[in-house]
Structure 1
Amino acid sequence: MELDNWEEKFEIDDQPYKDFYKESQDNMNIYFIYINSDNEIIRTKKEKFILDENKLTKSLLIEILKKNMFIKNKKYKPISLIKYNILLEPDEVQEYIYNSDSYDFMFIETMIDQISWEKTITLFQNINSLHILFYEKKKSNSKTKKIFINKPGKKRTRKKLN
């Protein structure tokens, strides 16, 4: 009986600190930023995706990129993948509040591959995200001149008849 009371008391006392425990993240916000040829942001969009063990698989990432490459019949190519992952320990939160400049949580992904996020304090999980920048693909006006190569045919010589 005493053990049950101790457990309940601990749960009640621990309730305010539950947001400061590190946990795996099950979903992620992905932000799409579209930039036109004049280097102006013309559109942004946000979607939520489910993660598999804190990971966004390569196949899902490729599917996401292909699905979001076209806006208003214009093709955009991905130029940057920026992962935002808050890597604070629970005892560093107070220091971060007073001195946030010394922390950098932005990571540039150089390859289209599986992207993983570390376990994060529950309070900050909604801040973790992936930002994908798309740049307008210019239509190529260059047209290659076609060269036709004729096979040498039979040479015909006429016989002169007198």
Structure 2
Amino acid sequence: MMSSLTTEQRNAYDRVMTRVGEGMPGLFFLYGYGGSGKTFIWRAMCAALRSQGEIVLAVASSGIAALLIPDGRTAHSRFCIPFSVDECSTCTIEPDSPLAILIVKAKLIIWDEAPMMHIHCFEAVDRSFRDILKAVDGRNKNIPFGGKVVVFGGDFRQILPVIPGDIIP
């Protein structure tokens, strides 16, 4: 699988995986048009880490995209994001629940089709991760996503423009 990565794909893969290997926080966005190989990179990352017994949480903003990632789920399903979110929302994850423990143990979070999601969803996950992971290290409450390595991906060209108050002809 690794030998099939292009130079650009390999560079992105290496940057993310280096951060995972160092155990340092990381926040990445992998931008690429449809068919550029983002899903292939997700599969390579999942395979590499899971072959070492590590946990990767792979999510996507839509069910279709989630099906293309190994063991992928929708972000709403995996992180218990409320369907109606606002600027103060948090996910419904209990601190010592199996999901919270899974988040603590995860080495990498992959979030595909991120541009399709409302910013309040990311903020809810960020607040929830910080809350869960501050129990591991108090400094995590001040680090995006509680210090996890998170790689978002998607293509902003696939998002329709929104004009508030406009009417479809």
Q: Same fold (TM over 0.5)?
A: no
Between Structure 1 and Structure 2, which shows a larger proportion of strand residues?
1
Between Structure 1 and Structure 2, which shows a larger proportion of helix residues?
2
TM range (shorter): under 0.3
For the pair shown, the structure with the greater C-alpha radius of gyration is 1
Q: Which has the higher contact order (CA 8 A, sep 6+)?
A: 1
